[in-house]
Amino acid sequence: MKKRGQMGEGIITIYRLLMVTVVAFIVFGVGSISYSYYIDVRDAEARILAREVSNCLSPNGILNLDSIKEKEYGEILSYCGISQLERFYVGVNIFDSSEKEIAKMYEGDSGALWVKELFLAGNAVLGWSAKNVELINKFNPGYFEFNHSVFILKDGKKTEGNIKIEALVSHEF
């Protein structure tokens, strides 16, 4: 009778071990699928993009507006030979010395601006738990704003002015 009881206990122990192994494997499997690293380089890309556009428009600190056709104002990335347009938005504002805007150039997905503003205002994460914020943060585009003074060449006249470049990079998935 005692032997039978010992056997029963042994079977229960094996059953428990099996159950624990199954649960451990399920947890491990689900964990390895859902827990994936995302290395975010979009801010770095936005910085490089802004620098590239700046170098393209004012290579020696001189922005020659006469060399850019007005129809190219809305295709500034293509003008600078930059591909991957669906991930980027670049906006360029050119001001004269009295801070008056004299030209505006842009190209790309302007929806990224709206998403960025949503994150800046905090509306995109209001009332969300930290885990959920982490989940949606991957949709927050990379951003870089770049201001510098330039000489502007327009209608053959050279004047002093400023250039503001805004670069946004969306996720790649």
The residues binding another protein (CB under 8 A) are 13, 16-17, 20, 24, 27-28, 31-32, 35-39, 41, 44-45, 48-49, 51-52, 80-84, 87-88, 172-173
23 or 136: CB nearest another protein? 23
- Parallel, antiparallel, or unpaired: how do β-strands 142-154 and 62-64 relate? parallel
48, 92, 114 from 118: Cα distances, Å:
24, 21, 6
Tell the smallest beta-carbon distance from residue 130 to another protein (Å).
Answer: 19
Nearest-approach distance from CB 8 to another protein, in angstroms: 13
The residue type at 18: L
Closest to another protein by CB, 52 or 72 = 52
In eight-state DSSP terms, residue 170 is -
Residue closer to another protein (CB basis): 72 or 96: 72
Q: What element of type H or E holds 102?
A: strand 101-108
> Least distance in Å: CB of 38 to another protein?
8
Contacts of 129 (CB under 8 A, 6+ apart): none
Cβ atoms within 10 Å of 65's Cβ, excluding its own = 17
Pick between residue 13 and residue 123 the one whose CB is nearest to another protein.
Answer: 13
